[in-house]
Every structure is written in C-alpha cells, then in structure tokens.
Amino acid sequence: MRLRAARFHEAEVLSELCRRSKASWGYDAAFMAASAASLRVEFEAIERGRVFVAEDEAGELLGVASYEWLQATGAAELDLLFVAPGVMRKGVGRALLDRVVAAVTAARARRLVILADPNAAGFYRRYGAAYLCDAPSDAIPGRTLPLFSLELASGAGSGSSRSYA
Ligand SMILES: CC(C)(COP(=O)(O)OP(=O)(O)OC[C@H]1O[C@@H](n2cnc3c(N)ncnc32)[C@H](O)[C@@H]1OP(=O)(O)O)[C@@H](O)C(=O)NCCC(=O)NCCS
C-alpha cells in the first residue's frame, strides 16, 4: 500500500468511494441521499493538499482521508475517512489517519477532532481518540454522532507502521 496526495481528476471517483464505504454500514437510500453532500471530495481540499489516498501496487484506490482547520481554535477536524469495502480491517484506515495526524501535527494543530459515524467509534477509540460528547450531525437533522478528540501535543495516535496485506 502507498499513501499520496489526491489528484484533481480523482475527485469524483473518490467521492464515489466515500459513498460505497458509508453504505457498507447498511444505511438506506434515503439516508444516503441526505448524506451525499457530506461525502464529496472537494477540489479545493485537493488543491490545498488536505486530501490523501491509499492505493495498492496496481494503483487501485483503497481509501481516502481529508481534514479541515477549525478557525481560531488551533484544532483541525477530520473531514473524511473512508476505506473501500473490500479492504476494511487491513490497516488502511489507520494508515490514512496516521497520514492526517502527521500533516496536522506538522502544521502545529493541538488536536484533531472527529465527528464519527457511530459504527466507526470503536476504530477511533482503538486509535487513541477520547470520546467528548454526542454532537449534531452536519448532514442529517436531528441525528447525533459521537465527537472524539485526538490530543496531538501529548503524542496520541498509534504511530503504527502496520501495512496493508
Ligand atoms: C472506520 C474505517 C475507516 C476503519 O478503517 P479500517 O481500514 O477498516 O480499519 P483498520 O484495519 O485500520 O483498523 C485499525 C484497528 O481498529 C479496529 N477497528 C477497525 N474498525 C473498527 C470498528 N468499526 N469498530 C471497532 N474496531 C475497529 C481494527 O480491528 C484494528 O484494531 P487492531 O489495532 O487491534 O488491529 C473503515 O471501516 C470505514 O471506512 N468504514 C466505513 C466508513 C466510515 O464509517 N468511515 C468513518 C467516518 S467517521
């Protein structure tokens, strides 16, 4: 597995990967339609170097992650983290999150906040993120999601070098 910055022409195929990945939890069509806007990889984020992809030796895309800055807080937010359904639980998600953590740590973020899908909460706990509270979903009115924080100054994060097999 290789990690690299996303390329402009990949925005749509990566957005499609996000939708497939999200749908793997069994959400229905109405939920997926309501979530569509929040599952898009934006050109601007690619341009700013905030989108990373994982690919295999053949160049097949295995997952995508991106982040944003939360204004005036010194914190970054994980925007997207989606692994292709066929390669989940093989270390791709952790490797992509390691890449985001490295990028925001290099840019001196104090913490990375994560508004998580409830099905992914165990993954973030395993990574070392702390649960803060339930917070409103950006995409679905009335839905709440677990909010996590990864404190970067304390060196949290797995730092794992485990690779996709
Ligand atoms: C959540 C997700 C990103 C995790 O990526 P992944 O590549 O499957 O996870 P990894 O193989 O890197 O797992 C790292 C560790 O977390 C654990 N883990 C992974 N997914 C987990 C889950 N859903 N619940 C509990 N633990 C989980 C793994 O067992 C592994 O543990 P280990 O260190 O003991 O080996 C991926 O399953 C995914 O894309 N899901 C669908 C979309 C989604 O919900 N994304 C998150 C949006 S907030």
What is the CATH class of 2-151? alpha beta
Ligand 1: nearest atom to the Cα of 18: 42
Domain ranges of the chain: 2-151
Query: Does residue 126's CB lie within 6 angstroms of at least one atom of ligand 1?
Result: yes
Nearest CA to ligand 1 atom 45: 82
Cα(91) to ligand 1 centroid in Å equals 8
Identify the residue whose C-alpha is closest to ligand 1 atom 17: 123
From 15, 123, 124, give the residue whose CB has the most ligand 1 atoms within 8 Å, as the site to mutate: 123
Alpha-carbon distance of 90 to 30, in angstroms, equals 30
Among 39, 10, 12, smallest CA distance to 23 is for 39
SS3 content of the chain, % helix, strand, coil (to 5): 35, 30, 35
Question: How many angstroms separate the alpha carbon of residue 126 from the centre of ligand 1?
Answer: 9
Pick from 119, 146, 120, 117: nearest CA to 132: 146
From the number of C-beta atoms within 10 Å of its C-beta (0-12, 13-18, 19+), residue 16 rates as middle
Residue 42 DSSP SS3: coil
In short, whether 98's Cβ falls inside 6 Å of ligand 1 is no
Q: Rounded mean pLDDT of 80-107?
A: 97
Task: Give residue 74's pLDDT.
Answer: 85
Q: What is the pTM of this model?
A: 0.93
Q: How many whole angstroms from 71 Cα to the centroid of ligand 1?
A: 28
39 touches 15 (CB < 8 A) = yes
Residues 1-60 pLDDT 10s? 999 999 999 999 999 999 999 999 999 999 999 999 999 999 999 999 999 999 999 999
* pLDDT single digits (tens) 119-147: 999 999 999 999 999 999 988 999 999 99
Distance between Cα 6 and ligand 1 center (Å): 21
* Residues in contact with 62: Cβ distance below 8 Å, sequence separation at least 6, in sequence order: 1, 53, 54, 55, 56, 83, 84, 87, 92, 164
